Structure 1
Amino acid sequence: MKAARPVSPGRPGLRGPGVLHQRYVRRAPEAAAGAVAASREAPTGFLGSGRVVVVFIALLFVCQLALLVEAMAPLRVVFRILAFGTSLALLVLAKGRHVKHPAKPFLLAYVGVTALNFFQPGTTSPLAAVAQVGIQASVFAPLFWASRLRIDETMFRRIVLMLFLFNMGSATLGVMQVYFPGRFQPALSSIIEGQGEGYIRSLQFETASGARVFRPMGLTDLPGGAATGAFYAVLLGGALLLSRQATWKRVLGVGGIGVGLVSLYLCQVRAAAVTLLVCMLAMGLVLMVAGRLMRLAVLGGVVGGLAVVAFGWAVAVGGDAVLARWSTLTASDPSQVYQGNRGHFLDDTFGERLPEYPLGAGLGRYGMANAYFGDNSDREHPPLWAEIQWTAWVYDGGLLAIVCYPLALLVTMVWGFRVAIRREEHAGEFWLWGSLLFAYDLGAVALTFSYPFFMSQMGMEFWLLNAAFFSAYWNRNATVHAHRR
């Protein structure tokens, strides 16, 4: 039998994403040909197409917006569960061929470790335990079902544009909430209201006009919540700026960067700003390694210039409170700023929680699962609180959990980096999307030190975007190989 020839273009001997089929498909020529044929004969119906991702993203947006409508308050639980439940349902409903993403084994190991916590004494509510595992699985489920779909680069661009527009909309609304106090303000989260008047006032600031406003919420019900939309508006806007798409999309990308920076400054969420800086530096590093220096100059010039202009604009609107908040980043060491805000949670996780729960604390004792379905009557196993993702991982499975999930994130980042630095013929703009995904993924990892990112809808969007990119790249490789045959 002849040795199988590479099924994707690239330089001879180079290992990485360009030899995707060699790693995940048997190497016999007839097997490779069968894989290509299967990809060309993949289901063309709705449940086998990339349109599933588009509809699912729209559903995520609808569920998030529904939480802002006071009339929908009695149905909050339904809307929170709907997105997660749909993600799990698509594990069965989505059609297509199975392609092995390198993160899948680690995620399966993670959910297996978590499931073993059913037998922990700390699991006092079976219903809350099932809900806990369901939430975790639904967050990374898109990596399994979205990677099966027929997604091409055009569809992936559409997905990126949808995410960008929603986040830009949230950032824009956040700016308007400060410009026009009280006019675009959504109802405050009931959880925040329950913290008392003193805490609520700490989430407000006085603008240059003398009005007292909440930190911009954007399309959320949390003060400062617009920072998330602002963060992704800048990051995704940078990718649109560097793309070869229509001019209006590149201009829109510049607008997203500008409004995102203004919104981020007004939100005064320093962790998000530092994370964004790290992401942009990471994206610039990838461009430099790949030798795309002109693109690097454009990205640095536009983002750097707008960062200065946006800060002046935000201070002019937000007043001394905005200036004083951001001056703390330069007045002291950034590590000290983090230590004073979130660092002690990380210290507590590894110094106290991990030694106490080396194999996990039991299921359903924190987060949404406990809030909606938990049984907190057992005084020996009271409810727990996870302020950052690392604490949540310890509660879910102890040492094994904080190894498996981060490894899944690491291999995902490495895969995106390899795509970003490759120079292939007929590769479209996968180098750009690989650069974006590497920075996007790095940002997500950084956010695990600020809050339980992978217990939220944002975590679901993380795996959805990575799965869509993986599928688009796999399908492009299959098509190129078929043409070469």
Structure 2
Amino acid sequence: MRGASPRPQLRGPGVLHQRYVRRAPPPVTTQAVPGPGGGTPTAFLGSGRVVVAFIALLFVCQLALLVEALAPVRVVFRILAFGTSLALLVLAKGPRLKHPAKPFLLAFLGVTALNFFQPGTTSAVAAAVQLGIQASVFAPVFWASRLRIDEKMFQRIVLMLFLFNMASATLGVLQVYFPGRFQPALSSVIEGQGDAYVRSLQFETASGARVFRPMGLTDLPGGAATGAFYSVLLGGALFLGPRGRWKTVLGVAGIGMGMLSLYLCQVRAAAVTLLVCMVAMALVLMLGGRLMRLVVLTAVVGGLAVGAFGWAVAVGGDAVLARWSTLTASDPGQVYQGNRGHFLDDTFGERLPEYPLGAGLGRYGMANAYFGDNSDRNQPPLWAEIQWTAWVYDGGLLAVLFYPLALLLTMLWSFRVAIRRDDTRGDFWLWGSLLFAYDLGAVALTFSYPFFMSQMGMEFWLLNGAFFSAYRNATVHAHRR
């Protein structure tokens, strides 16, 4: 009854929301929100369409980097998405909900801000840009969680991300099939490493042509691996999702094309991370009692993985086979240690003792490249090959503590949604399973590169913030009926 004031007994993930869901306003479905052309700006800025528009902006910014004519203004496109994310902290409308990660992200930002006053900070502009990048990457979990998003809108968001990543993976395959025809301009940073390094990023196909590892919709050799990774992961969710022939076919196509592209990219870290993600998704499906879906997903992904590998070897030749055989020729730990493990050892063995409170801001990455002042020989620029090194530079021990705690709580929240067996509010168990696997993959990628200093890190917090909002709206709606 509408006049009653029931006290719902929440279990599972609902406990995390109990103190702030009860007073939330009634949900407004995305269908009821006027579009940008027919409604007020305020209505638009409180709707899930903000997320759709922001994702479109991310795609445009990434594609603009591939256009040679826009090279003089590349910096504009690099910072446009980050600046928009910060602006939406003010512009987005809606109740300020307490996502479990928020306190730790704010603590991390405070620690990072204190590094502005470190002696190592040699450029106030670069320091401000660095702080802005950090804040803009996780800002979506603050503003996206305010918006009126329902499950249908969340599905659209997932579909958008899937289609873009599948397009990148598909283009990567075409770049190998038709050498030079679909090839974007090589990143100037890569070209600056010298001919020997550039040549190491190429391989000889079965037809004898020498090609770069697939770039996809990036300007980096092997860059299509990111699109391939998410094409498989998001494709699995579409395949398991609400039944519809086109979604099933699209999901299977995404898994198959993603696998083929990933093999051709020869990025072993992405493949291992994908395996971890799929195992995580299988785990939550099992714990949630959805064994038949687990069996079907395993059969489809496993079958396509085997078939795609044979196809990749037939196209890529011995170079592909030799590259992937190294994963089974030695212990996986030794493989990681030989490629990225020494960066982790250096981070905790050398960098953290040297910079226990941080190294100052603006000394590495995009902020330093565009705005840094490296004239002081006593404070040279730094290099962060993995995310953990970046955290040490930005805030030392406290930064290494706060940000991973935020990630852990985010994963835990998704996990608790995923394993609910009595949830009748739609397919949130599926999206919880996807988010848990997706989040675990992001954590794994922090050991390979600075994931949370990129647009991919922004997409991570965007997806988690949108999911939090969608689940919260469904919870409020269920308890008001």
* Band the TM-score falls in, shorter-chain normalisation: over 0.9
Counterpart check, 1:19 vs 2:15 = yes
What SS does structure 2 have at the residue aligned with 1:213? strand
Instruction: Report the Cα offset of residue 351 of structure 1.
Output: 0.1
2:376 is matched with 378
**Does the 8 A contact of 1:88 with 1:137 survive in 2?**
yes
Query: In the alignment, which of 337, 340, 343 is matched to residue 339 of structure 1?
Result: 337
Counterpart check, 1:58 vs 2:47 = no
1:41-440 mapped onto 2 (5 Å cutoff): 45-440=43-438
Instruction: Report the Cα offset of residue 423 of structure 1.
Output: 2.1
What SS does structure 2 have at the residue aligned with 1:35? coil
CA-to-partner distance for each residue in 1:288-309, whole Å, 9 max, x for gaps?
A: 0111000000110000000000
Aligned Cα RMSD in Å? 1.6
Name the CA distance, whole Å, in 1 between partners of 2:244 and 2:401: 43
TM-score, structure 2 as length reference:
0.95
Name the CA distance, whole Å, in 1 between partners of 2:285 and 2:363: 44
Compared CA separation, residues 235 and 6, structure 1 to 2 (3 A): farther
Compared CA separation, residues 164 and 347, structure 1 to 2 (3 A): same
**Does the 8 A contact of 1:387 with 1:450 survive in 2?**
yes
**Does the 8 A contact of 1:36 with 1:479 survive in 2?**
no
CA-to-partner distance for each residue in 1:179-215, whole Å, 9 max, x for gaps?
A: 0000000000000000000000000000000000000
CA-to-partner distance for each residue in 1:26-81, whole Å, 9 max, x for gaps?
A: xxxxxx3x434487999861000000000000000000000001011011000001
What SS does structure 2 have at the residue aligned with 1:325? helix
Instruction: Report the Cα offset of residue 250 of structure 1.
Output: 1.3
Compared CA separation, residues 38 and 153, structure 1 to 2 (3 A): closer
Partner letter of residue 347 of structure 1?
A: D
Name the CA distance, whole Å, in 1 between partners of 2:116 and 2:301: 48
2:477 is matched with 479
**Does the 8 A contact of 1:36 with 1:481 survive in 2?**
no
Name the CA distance, whole Å, in 1 between partners of 2:141 and 2:124: 27
User: Structure 2 stretches of 5 or more lacking a match?
Assistant: 35-42
Name the CA distance, whole Å, in 2 between partners of 1:300 and 1:306: 10
Compared CA separation, residues 85 and 245, structure 1 to 2 (3 A): farther
Partner letter of residue 241 of structure 1?
A: F
Name the CA distance, whole Å, in 2 between partners of 1:384 and 1:375: 12
Partner letter of residue 401 of structure 1?
A: A
Name the CA distance, whole Å, in 1 between partners of 2:75 and 2:253: 35
**Does the 8 A contact of 2:27 with 2:477 survive in 1?**
no
Compared CA separation, residues 177 and 341, structure 1 to 2 (3 A): same
What SS does structure 2 have at the residue aligned with 1:275? helix
What SS does structure 2 have at the residue aligned with 1:116? helix
Instruction: Report the Cα offset of residue 380 of structure 1.
Output: 0.6
Q: How many residues are matched?
A: 469
Query: In the alignment, which of 19, 35, 45 is matched to residue 24 of structure 2?
Result: 35
User: Structure 1 stretches of 5 or more lacking a match?
Assistant: 26-31
Instruction: Report the Cα offset of residue 426 of structure 1.
Output: 2.8
Instruction: Report the Cα offset of residue 245 of structure 1.
Output: 3.7
Partner letter of residue 223 of structure 2?
A: G
Instruction: Report the Cα offset of residue 5 of structure 1.
Output: 5.0
**Does the 8 A contact of 1:125 with 1:374 survive in 2?**
yes
Name the CA distance, whole Å, in 1 between partners of 2:26 and 2:149: 16
**Does the 8 A contact of 2:418 with 2:432 survive in 1?**
yes
**Does the 8 A contact of 1:43 with 1:95 survive in 2?**
no
2:468 is matched with 470
Partner letter of residue 294 of structure 1?
A: M
Compared CA separation, residues 262 and 413, structure 1 to 2 (3 A): same
Name the CA distance, whole Å, in 2 between partners of 1:341 and 1:123: 30
Name the CA distance, whole Å, in 2 between partners of 1:345 and 1:103: 27
CA-to-partner distance for each residue in 1:145-194, whole Å, 9 max, x for gaps?
A: 00000000000000000000000000000000000000000000000000
Instruction: Report the Cα offset of residue 13 of structure 1.
Output: 6.9
Name the CA distance, whole Å, in 2 between partners of 1:6 and 1:295: 35
**Does the 8 A contact of 2:264 with 2:320 survive in 1?**
yes
**Does the 8 A contact of 1:422 with 1:431 survive in 2?**
yes
2:38 is matched with none
What SS does structure 1 have at the residue aligned with 2:448? coil
1:28 is matched with none
Compared CA separation, residues 69 and 420, structure 1 to 2 (3 A): same
What SS does structure 2 have at the residue aligned with 1:205? strand
TM-score, structure 1 as length reference:
0.95
**Does the 8 A contact of 1:140 with 1:460 survive in 2?**
yes
**Does the 8 A contact of 1:367 with 1:385 survive in 2?**
yes
Instruction: Report the Cα offset of residue 481 of structure 1.
Output: 1.2
Counterpart check, 1:459 vs 2:457 = yes
Partner letter of residue 22 of structure 1?
A: Q
Name the CA distance, whole Å, in 2 between partners of 1:451 and 1:228: 12
Name the CA distance, whole Å, in 2 between partners of 1:126 and 1:420: 44
Name the CA distance, whole Å, in 1 between partners of 2:448 and 2:423: 40
Partner letter of residue 203 of structure 1?
A: L
Name the CA distance, whole Å, in 1 between partners of 2:336 and 2:105: 29
Instruction: Report the Cα offset of residue 332 of structure 1.
Output: 0.4
Instruction: Report the Cα offset of residue 244 of structure 1.
Output: 1.4
Instruction: Report the Cα offset of residue 19 of structure 1.
Output: 3.2
What SS does structure 1 have at the residue aligned with 2:203? strand
Name the CA distance, whole Å, in 2 between partners of 1:84 and 1:395: 20
**Does the 8 A contact of 1:39 with 1:478 survive in 2?**
no
Name the CA distance, whole Å, in 1 between partners of 2:272 and 2:448: 11
**Does the 8 A contact of 2:266 with 2:324 survive in 1?**
yes
